[in-house]
Every structure is written in C-alpha cells, then in structure tokens.
C-alpha cells in the first residue's frame, strides 16, 4: 500500500518529535518535528548524539513508526550496519536523508518504496565521498 509522501513530510506534534540526546537522559535541547527539520539538525547536533541514536536504532524507529517511511528507515539500518562514526556518519546520514527528501518532494511513495531497501543495492550509491 502506497504511503503518501505528505504523511512522511508532515510536521508532527511536540510529543512525537525526535529529541536528540548524547547519552541516557542527556538532552541536547535540539529536536525535530519533521523530516526537513531532522535533516537540518543532522548538520548541527553534537556528533555524539548521532552515534548514540544510531546505535540504539532510534532514528530507524522514529522514521518508520512516527513518519511512516520504512524505506528511509531501511537505509539508515544499512548505515548502522556499516558502523560508521564521527563526521563520516554525519555526512552519510545527511546524504541518505537529503536524497530521500528530494525523492519524496517529487511525488508519492510507491508500494515497493515502503519496504526496506534491497541489500543488493550498491553501497557506494548511498555514500557520499568524504
């Protein structure tokens, strides 16, 4: 079943927003209420926060369960498997999310797009040259 891109791109309620922490209970003060805002925060937030949430699978869960984008969640899951850290993680995460945003702004998600990406997909295509 197709997931409308408007659903993924919408702004969610304060209670459903993504809150960036650097470790258990340590909130940075940065949050994102939409995928657009999430992309901006990836650029600014402490790198420790990106590592913390990626390891805990928080990004995947929020993107799949709150925004409803299983495909982007799947791409982030692949990134997690690559064990990227530091600025390389920031760059790659930014690339993956910005590419998906461009795609979503171009139209609706197809039925196949709501599934996680294929593992056969060339990894180099999701990576940004460092």
Partner 1 sequence: MKLKGQGAALDDLDRQILRLLQENAKQTYTEIGNRLNVAHSTVYDRIQKMEDLSVIKKYEAVVDWEKIGVPQIMAHMTITTDPKETENVAKKLEKFGQVLEVSTSFSEELVITAKVVAQDQGELHSFIARSIAPLPGVLRIRTAIVTKKYKEERFSLFQRENASRKRNNL
Choices 15-23, 43-51, 67-75, 102-110 (CB under 8 A): range interacting with partner 1 = 15-23
Q: Please give the size of the binding site for partner 1, defined by CB under 8 A.
A: 12
By the rule CB under 8 A, 59 interacts with partner 1: no
Q: What minimum distance in Å lies between the beta carbon of 20 and partner 1? A: 9
Among 9, 19, 66, 98, binds partner 1 (CB under 8 A): 19
Copy the structure tokens of residue 100: 């998906």
Phi, psi of 65 (to 5 degrees): -80, -35
Minimum CB–partner distance for residue 18 and partner 1 (Å): 9
Return all residues near 67 (Cβ < 8 A) that are at least 6 apart.
7, 8, 10, 12, 35
Kindly state the smallest distance separating residue 76's Cβ from partner 1, in Å.
18
Among the listed residues 14, 83, 102, 119, the single contact to partner 1 using CB under 8 A? 14
Q: SS in 3 state form for 15-68?
A: HHCEEEEEECCEEEEEEECCHHHHHHHHHHCCHHHHHHHHHHCHHHHHHHHHHC
Out of 7, 10, 27, 40, point to the residue binding partner 1 (CB under 8 A): 27
Residue 129 interacts with partner 1 (CB under 8 A): yes or no: no
Strand partners, 18: 32
């Amino acid at each position: 079943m197709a997931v409308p891109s408007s659903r993924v791109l919408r702004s969610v309620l304060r209670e459903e927003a993504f809150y960036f922490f650097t470790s258990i209970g340590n909130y940075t003060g940065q949050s994102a209420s939409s995928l657009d805002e999430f992309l901006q925060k990836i650029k600014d937030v402490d790198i420790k926060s990106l590592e913390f949430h990626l390891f805990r699978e928080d990004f995947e869960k929020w993107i799949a369960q709150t925004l409803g984008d299983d495909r982007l969640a799947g791409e982030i899951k692949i990134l997690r498997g690559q064990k990227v850290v530091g600025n390389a993680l920031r760059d790659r995460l930014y690339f993956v999310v910005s590419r998906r945003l461009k795609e979503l702004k171009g139209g609706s998600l197809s039925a196949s797009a709501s599934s996680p990406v294929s593992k056969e997909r060339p990894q180099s295509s999701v990576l940004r040259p460092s």
